[in-house]
Amino acid sequence: MGDGEPETLLDAVRGLPPGRVLLPGTDAGTLLDRVRKAADEIGAGAAEGEAVALCAENSPAWVVAFLALLAAGARPLLLEPGTPEAEARRLLRAAGGGRSLTVPDGDGDRPPVLSGPPGEACGPGPAVLLPTSGSTGESRIVARDEASLLAEGRRYRDGVGLTGRDTLLLPVPLSHAYALGWLFGGLLTGASLRPVPPTALGRIAAELAGGATVVALVPSIARLLAARKLRAGGSRPGPDDGSPAPALRMAMVGAGPVDERLDRAFEEAFGTALARNYGSTETGAVFAGQARIEPFCVGAALPGIVYRLADEDGEAVPGGTPGLLQVRVDGAWHAMGDLAVAVPDGLRVIGRKDRAIRRGGRWVSPLEIEEVLRGHPDVRDVRVTARRGRHPGEDGIVAEVSAVRPGLTPEPLREHARRELAAYKVPDEFVIRTALPTSAAGKVRAAPRYRLTRRAAEAARAYKTSEVLFALHGLGALDRLAEGAGAADLARELGCDADALEWVLRAATGLGVLTTAAPGDTEPRVRAAELAAFVRLEEHLSRGPVSREEIAAAVRTGVARRPFEQTPPAGLDRLVTVYQGAMNGPSARARAALGLRLLKPAAGARMVEVTAGPGRYLERLLAADPTAGGHLLTVGRLSGPPAPAVAAAVAEGRVTTGPEPPRGAADLCVVANAVHGPGPGSELAELLGGLRPGGRLLVDDVFLPPSGAGSELALDWLTHGGTAWPTAGDLIAGLSREGARVSRHLPLEESLCHLIIAKEAS
């Protein structure tokens, strides 16, 4: 560069003393050795400039893998942990790549593994490819070259004050542009880095207590840490108490606004107010402010950054007037997409341009309204948007609110807003949502816009696949097909026309329902009896609770007032029998056996089982341990009677029943086929509160996949189930918010079922 600054990130690491500790147990010299070995492995199989996906949790091994990709001349495509495979493939194709880098567990001493079809060199490298967070709409890929990221690292050094004496805690996904800037700043200065997964609240708290001097946060993680600390240990410790963050000199929040409540709560919990950070995926950090500045303020421009506020025509606005923020970075102007206003502490962000609200000649900040509504005790998260009026300045305000627990109505929210806000800022409409989608950085995503695809016509014909299966079942053909019967035998035994039956069998084969291939070792085994039970269930559902009429009715009324809740469906007793037969077959019993092995209950354990089934876990526990006991809480209209062994234990007094299990008395809580609600199975705080100290929660349930087969389960939940925690990731994030730590997550092969075990984080 000609100014004595390193030209690459690895040059920066090479310029540090070899003994400088950069990662736990890893000094600069060791890090360079590990990066070189990994880069040699990658370079042997990847083309120069090839896009390679990196998708893993925060860890020292992630840092080694990232640096190795840069050293090999590849273009790292950084994906959020848990990115669905289909989305990862789509993003990788868009970037021109085909390979992924698998990061091994550990501290980076083992090299990462490259896999997948080769890609092509897609531009001068190295560069870092960053999918946008989705907070502004559909995601796209942004390329940042190394020079841009090094310049951002220098801004952290020269403008924020990061030094080689700092221990930098990074509990923000390293795949996120905000965390990546901190990583470059940390390696540039020689700070000691502590990358930790954002869901590991216990580890984050331990690092703060253990001497972290700087922590990079996003609002959601700062809010969770503060709530967890205040719930566990009260307010800020006194002079004789151990400090939860004895060395912390800076806690900086980026990738979202800091409101007054969050700032106050974090300082009360950790003794340090929140510093501010602002930037974008394209520019990196461009503003920063020290602690104790006004709410929503992001501070002043960092060194080398110039900004201006302009109107819609690009003309500068007068001082004190809101305008569209434009920032010059590396000689180029960038429209940031935000409305902002200059204030004494620097710059205050009002909100996204497309979300900013204009009423009666005044700008209204969605962020301010969200802060106020988030202060209501029954609110989990908020998204405030404008409903455009017929004329300028006549925008309506819509607040979408996800509730902490079911039952929240708009009126208390409206009263709360009227107490806290000027009349023109009070939302016109409140929409109660089960959940609002968030990014890995914790930001509520923009509402997506849906459009038809070419598969719509295919979907219109898809009912025929189900109908041919139902027809074969009704004819009695499925069991005989599973036994290997041929078409001629079937026609004779079932009294069918041979030509018509052959025609249907061929159609079913073309649809993938049947196959003529010989059974192979790699082909999943189909249990005929279990399949028949599911076919019977789906036949019932297709003509009743999940018919097109019932789906449309639930959309009109909402889940709480859908027909299934208002009027018992015809033939309910028969439906319960069929449902229980399908949901409690051999696979369900095998999951219960596996779940209990994972829990390892002590002798005399007390278990609460919340279930839409017969109490499979209690049944197995009681059979294994005559001294065990517990409580059975059945939910939903399809739950059916308890298993005979559980009913006998109820009669003996070993097991109690009812809607309110003893609080704080259970060693184990199992939620089986009930976590999506409606009802107590979805209320995580109550479930965890029912456990003794050290108790464990196990969830055994199905979850929606990212896309494709299994997505139709959403319609079952809409019409006759519950819609809480639709994905395993949603549930794990919810458990983390409640202060629990997930110790085991076991997705089961060839199934949408997951076993998830959690306990209160230490």
Convert the pLDDT of each residue in 592-648 to its tens digit: 999 999 999 999 999 999 999 999 999 999 999 999 999 999 998 898 899 999 999
185-199, 352-366, 748-762: range with highest mean pLDDT? 185-199
Where is the domain boundary, 521, 541, 567?
Answer: 521
140-144, 163-167, 473-477: range with highest mean pLDDT? 163-167
Tokens of 751: 């199934």
pLDDT grade for 738, boundaries at 50, 70 and 90 = confident
Query: What is the distance of C-alpha 157 from the center of its chain?
Result: 32
Q: Are residues 656 and 721 in the same domain?
A: yes
Beta-carbon contacts of 141 under 8 Å, excluding residues fewer than 6 positions away, are 77, 91, 94, 95, 129, 130, 131, 132
Q: Are residues 697 and 748 in the same domain?
A: yes
Q: Are residues 589 and 718 in the same domain?
A: yes
Q: Are residues 416 and 322 in the same domain?
A: yes
Q: Nearest Cα to 616, choosing from 638, 588, 651?
A: 588
Strand partners, 275: 252
Q: Nearest Cα to 205, choosing from 154, 171, 159, 161?
A: 171
Least confident piece of the model among 85-99, 213-227, 533-547: 85-99
Convert the pLDDT of each residue in 16-68 to its tens digit: 999 999 999 999 999 999 999 999 888 766 667 889 999 999 999 999 999 99
Tell me which of 136 and 547 has the higher pLDDT.
Answer: 547
pLDDT of 121 higher than 90: no
Where is the domain boundary, 521, 540, 563?
Answer: 521
- Run of H or E residues at 542: helix 528-542
Beta-carbon contacts of 255 under 8 Å, excluding residues fewer than 6 positions away, are 133, 172, 176, 178, 218, 219, 277, 441, 442, 443
In a domain, 660, yes or no: yes
Question: Pairing between strand 141-145 and 396-403?
Answer: unpaired
- Cα(469)–Cα(490) distance, integer angstroms: 15
The pLDDT value recorded for residue 702 is 95
Q: Nearest Cα to 720, choosing from 681, 678, 761?
A: 678
In a domain, 691, yes or no: yes
Beta-carbon contacts of 515 under 8 Å, excluding residues fewer than 6 positions away, are 509
Tokens of 444: 């509520």
- Cα(554)–Cα(720) distance, integer angstroms: 9
Angle of helix 616-624 relative to helix 644-652, nearest 10 degrees, comes to 70
- Cα(339)–Cα(350) distance, integer angstroms: 5
In a domain, 651, yes or no: yes
Range of the domain at 495: 458-521
In a domain, 753, yes or no: yes
- Cα(281)–Cα(8) distance, integer angstroms: 20
The pLDDT value recorded for residue 62 is 95
309 within 8 A of 340, measured Cβ to Cβ: yes
In a domain, 369, yes or no: yes
The pLDDT value recorded for residue 239 is 47
Q: What is the mean pLDDT of residues 167-185?
A: 96
Beta-carbon contacts of 522 under 8 Å, excluding residues fewer than 6 positions away, are none
pLDDT of 313 higher than 70: yes
CA 55 to each of CA 52, 59, 66, 254, 274: distance values in angstroms, whole numbers, following the listed order? 10, 12, 10, 22, 29
Give the whole-number percent of the chain exceeding pLDDT 90: 55
Where is the domain boundary, 521, 550, 572?
Answer: 521
pLDDT of 145 higher than 50: yes
Alpha helices (runs of H) in 156-209, residue ranges in sequence order: 177-189, 201-209
Q: What is the mean pLDDT of residues 709-724?
A: 90
Convert the pLDDT of each residue in 504-525 to its tens digit: 999 999 998 888 887 665 455 5
pLDDT grade for 135, boundaries at 50, 70 and 90 = very low
Q: Are residues 655 and 690 in the same domain?
A: yes
Q: Are residues 725 and 657 in the same domain?
A: yes
Beta-carbon contacts of 173 under 8 Å, excluding residues fewer than 6 positions away, are 58, 80, 81, 179, 198, 440, 441
pLDDT grade for 252, boundaries at 50, 70 and 90 = very high
- Run of H or E residues at 530: helix 528-542
pLDDT grade for 241, boundaries at 50, 70 and 90 = low
Beta-carbon contacts of 224 under 8 Å, excluding residues fewer than 6 positions away, are 201, 736, 737
In a domain, 580, yes or no: no
Convert the pLDDT of each residue in 271-304 to its tens digit: 999 999 999 999 999 999 999 999 999 999 999 9
What DSSP character marks residue 502?
Answer: H
Q: Are residues 732 and 653 in the same domain?
A: yes
Q: Are residues 400 and 477 in the same domain?
A: no
Question: How many CA atoms are closer than 13 Å to the CA of 35, on its beta-carbon side?
Answer: 24
| CATH number of the domain bearing residue 415 | 3.30.300.30
As for how many domains the chain has, the answer is 3
Q: Are residues 499 and 594 in the same domain?
A: no
Q: Are residues 702 and 590 in the same domain?
A: yes
The pLDDT value recorded for residue 136 is 46
The overall average pLDDT reported for the chain is 88
Quick count: other Cβ atoms within 10 Å of Cβ 235? 11
Q: What is the mean pLDDT of residues 119-141?
A: 70
In a domain, 333, yes or no: yes
Q: Are residues 422 and 495 in the same domain?
A: no
pLDDT grade for 122, boundaries at 50, 70 and 90 = low
Convert the pLDDT of each residue in 643-695 to its tens digit: 999 999 999 999 999 998 888 889 999 999 999 988 899 999 889 989 998 89
In a domain, 86, yes or no: no
- Run of H or E residues at 128: strand 127-131
Q: Are residues 467 and 589 in the same domain?
A: no
Tokens of 191: 């700070």
